[in-house]
């Protein structure tokens, strides 16, 4: 049984990830969010819910103990959250999947890159810091940097290593997220 903790479990993409993982017979989910009452369709056999804030180290520590994979889809103070998550993962949890955003490595060339920086450039800083914190850790991690997220069952993607320039926009479907998780 693989135990997956979803941090930010009520976000739109996190809900899609949860939906897909619930169909897997060998997955046990822990859903972590600031207001657990927002999730009303809990499967008590496959899921448990934790009401908490990732900025509360003690609550996060307790949630992470015993997990195999941590999936993170947060906004706001993502850099502070990343620092807490890396600290909490000292409880023998090694696999981290962290969603950031396209542009954190200034990898988007041309007009779209310029537009992206104008539109969301300032909000990328916490994600840049998050990636730096995670990269310095000893964790087995994946940092996803989607340009667009869609819940359509169409997969158009190209995997890029850090440092490679983006050659065109691709859509990251929930299928891709599920592939990374299982």
CATH code of the domain containing 125: 3.40.50.720
d(CA 2, CA 181): 10
- The residue range of the domain holding 52 is 2-181
In 3D space, the residue among 165, 164, 105, 93 whose CA is nearest the CA of residue 130 turns out to be 105
Cα–Cα distance measured from residue 39 to residue 62, given in angstroms and rounded to the nearest whole number: 20
- The 10 Å Cβ neighbour count of residue 92 is 10
Per-residue model confidence as pLDDT tens digits over 99-156: 998 889 988 888 888 888 898 888 999 999 999 999 999 999 999 888 766 555 454 4
DSSP state of 29: E
Q: Between residues 79 and 181, which one has the greater pLDDT? A: 79
The predicted model scores a pTM of 0.83
Q: State yes or no: pLDDT of 71 exceeds 70.
A: yes
- Lowest-confidence range among 29-38, 75-84, 171-180? 171-180
Model pLDDT for residues 11-62, shown as the tens digit of each residue: 888 888 898 888 888 999 999 999 999 999 999 999 999 999 999 999 999 9
116 in Cβ contact with 166 (< 8 Å): no
**Considering its fold, how many domains does the chain have in total?**
1
For the segment 87-108, the average pLDDT, to the nearest whole number, is: 90
């Amino acid at each position: 049984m693989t135990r997956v903790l979803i941090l930010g479990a009520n976000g739109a993409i996190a809900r899609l990830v949860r939906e897909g993982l619930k169909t897997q017979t060998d997955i046990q989910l822990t859903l972590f969010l600031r207001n657990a009452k927002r999730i009303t369709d809990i499967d008590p056999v496959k899921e448990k819910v934790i009401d908490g804030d990732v900025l509360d180290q003690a609550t996060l520590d307790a949630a992470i103990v015993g997990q195999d994979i941590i999936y993170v889809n947060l906004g706001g103070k993502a850099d502070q959250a990343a620092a807490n998550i890396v600290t909490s993962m000292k409880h023998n949890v090694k696999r981290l999947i962290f969603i950031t955003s396209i542009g954190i490595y200034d990898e988007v060339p041309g007009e779209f890159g310029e537009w992206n920086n104008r539109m969301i450039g300032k909000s990328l800083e916490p994600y840049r810091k998050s990636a730096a914190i995670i990269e310095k850790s000893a964790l087995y991690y994946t940092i996803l940097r989607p340009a667009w997220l869609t819940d359509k069952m169409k997969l158009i993607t190209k995997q890029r290593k850090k440092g490679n320039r983006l050659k065109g926009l691709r859509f990251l479907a929930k299928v891709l997220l599920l592939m990374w998780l299982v």
